[in-house]
């Protein structure tokens, strides 16, 4: 039985247009695939967490405090998805990666948010994957794959079908802000590399693509080989 951790970006979960419709469709898909694989989900904070971070900063908040605000939003987002899952949800938001991993079972989908200041929910996904020796991590963001550069600003950026975890490590460390990455949290990459967990980078708004990634089928996004 495959074991899969899904990291869903906050802006994918809350598209700010028909949010309930997307979350319901996502929950239905997750309920469906939870009968075939053991799934655990982590939700990001999206625009709402950026709003709190910005406002908290204007009020003189420390980096630690801004992270705490972000974590709060990720947990609220996780609760939304748990509600949408109904019977397939576990009725609570796990507080640690270990607790989330221990809640996994066929037909159930534990959903959590962040844990501690200093990293993002991508890193939490890798921590859960480590805790339960998962087969793969699926990163559902609003970018359809990994590119050689930012496709929004560089029209020559090339889409990558298949890369190694060392290639991804280079990409995330080369990014502008050394520790905060838009592709995948560098701490998450480090954990995935150490524990040889493959990463699948897909467009989370495309539920067919996301389902294929969870089930380990062919994807249009980027497959990151950690073996
Ligand atoms: P996200 O995981 O959404 O991070 O957590 P992000 O990088 O801003 O969003 P994506 O990956 O581009 O979608 C939101 C914020 O919450 C805090 C961080 O400040 C993060 O930026 N956070 C989250 C933590 O401090 N610890 C956690 O475990 C999770």
Check if 186 has its Cβ closer than 6 Å to any atom of ligand 1: no
**49 Cα–ligand 1 center, Å:** 8
Contact 126, 187 (CB under 8 A): yes
The residue whose C-alpha atom lies closest to atom 10 belonging to ligand 1 is 9
Identify the pLDDT of residue 152: 78
121 lines ligand 1 (CB under 6 A): yes
Residue nearest to atom 12 of ligand 1 (CA): 182
> Is 120 a pocket residue for ligand 1 (Cβ < 6 Å)?
yes
CATH of span 3-225: 3.40.1160.10
Which of the residue ranges 60-69, 182-191, 192-201 would you say has the lowest mean pLDDT?
182-191
Mean pLDDT of 202-222: 97
Q: What is the pLDDT of residue 150?
A: 80
Counting residues of the chain whose pLDDT is more than 90, the rounded percentage is: 86
pLDDT at 151: 80
Q: Is the pLDDT of residue 174 over 90?
A: no
Mean pLDDT of 108-134: 98
pLDDT of residue 177: 54
How many whole angstroms separate alpha carbon 103 and alpha carbon 222?
A: 29
Average pLDDT in the 169-185 region?
72
C-alpha of residue 163 to centroid of ligand 1, in Å: 25
Encode pLDDT of 19-67 as tens digits. 999 999 999 999 999 999 999 999 999 999 999 999 999 999 999 999 9
pLDDT in the model for residue 184: 94
All structural domains of the chain with their residue ranges: 3-225
Query: Distance from the CA of 121 to the center of ligand 1, in angstroms?
Result: 5
In the prediction, which pLDDT does 182 show? 74
Residue among 43, 44, 184, 204 whose CB has most ligand 1 atoms within 8 A, to mutate: 44
pLDDT digits (tens, 9 = 90+) for 72-91: 999 999 999 999 999 999 99
**What would the mean pLDDT of 155-172 be, rounded to a whole number?**
93
Does the structure show a pLDDT above 90 at 178?
A: no
The answer, yes or no, to whether any atom of ligand 1 lies below 6 A from the CB of 49, is yes
Distance CA(149)–CA(202), nearest Å, equals 16
- What is the pLDDT averaged over residues 95-112? 98
Q: Which of 130, 138, 192 is nearest to 166 (CA)?
A: 192
Q: Which of 120, 176, 204 to mutate to test the pocket of ligand 1 (most atoms within 8 A of CB)?
A: 120
Alpha carbon separation from 116 to 60, 80, 95, 97, 221 (Å, rounded): 20, 20, 10, 11, 29
Between β-strands 159-160 and 146-147, what pairing exists: parallel, antiparallel or unpaired? antiparallel
Q: Is the CB of 150 under 6 A from ligand 1?
A: no
Strand order in the sheet with 3-8: 111-112, 38-43, 3-8, 136-141, 198-203, 222-225, 162-164
Ligand 1 center to 70 CA (angstroms): 6
| Closest atom of ligand 1 relative to the 44 alpha carbon | 3
Q: Is the CB of 77 under 6 A from ligand 1?
A: no
Q: 74: Cβ below 6 Å to ligand 1?
A: yes
Res. 70: pLDDT tops 60: yes
């Amino acid at each position: 039985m495959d074991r899969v951790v899904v990291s869903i970006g906050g802006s994918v979960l809350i598209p700010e247009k028909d949010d309930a419709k997307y979350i319901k469709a996502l929950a239905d898909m997750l309920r469906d695939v939870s009968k075939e694989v053991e799934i655990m989900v982590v939700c990001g904070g999206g625009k709402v967490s950026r709003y709190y971070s910005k406002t908290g900063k204007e009020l003189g908040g420390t980096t630690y405090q801004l992270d705490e605000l972000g974590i709060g939003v990720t947990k609220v987002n996780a609760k939304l998805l748990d509600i949408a899952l109904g019977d397939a949800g576990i009725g609570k938001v796990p507080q640690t990666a270990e607790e989330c991993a221990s809640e996994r079972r066929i037909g159930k989908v534990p959903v959590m948010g962040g844990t501690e200041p200093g990293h993002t929910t991508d890193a939490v996904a890798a921590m859960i994957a480590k805790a339960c020796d998962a087969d793969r991590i699926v990163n559902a963001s609003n970018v359809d794959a990994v590119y050689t550069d930012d496709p929004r600003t560089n029209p020559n950026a090339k889409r990558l079908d298949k890369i190694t975890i060392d290639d991804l490590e280079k990409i995330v460390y080369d990014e502008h802000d050394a520790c905060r990455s838009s592709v995948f949290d560098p701490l998450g990459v480090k954990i995935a590399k150490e524990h040889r967990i493959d990463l699948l980078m897909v467009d989370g708004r495309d539920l067919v693509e996301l389902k294929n990634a969870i089930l380990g089928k062919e994807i249009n996004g980027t497959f990151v080989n950690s073996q």
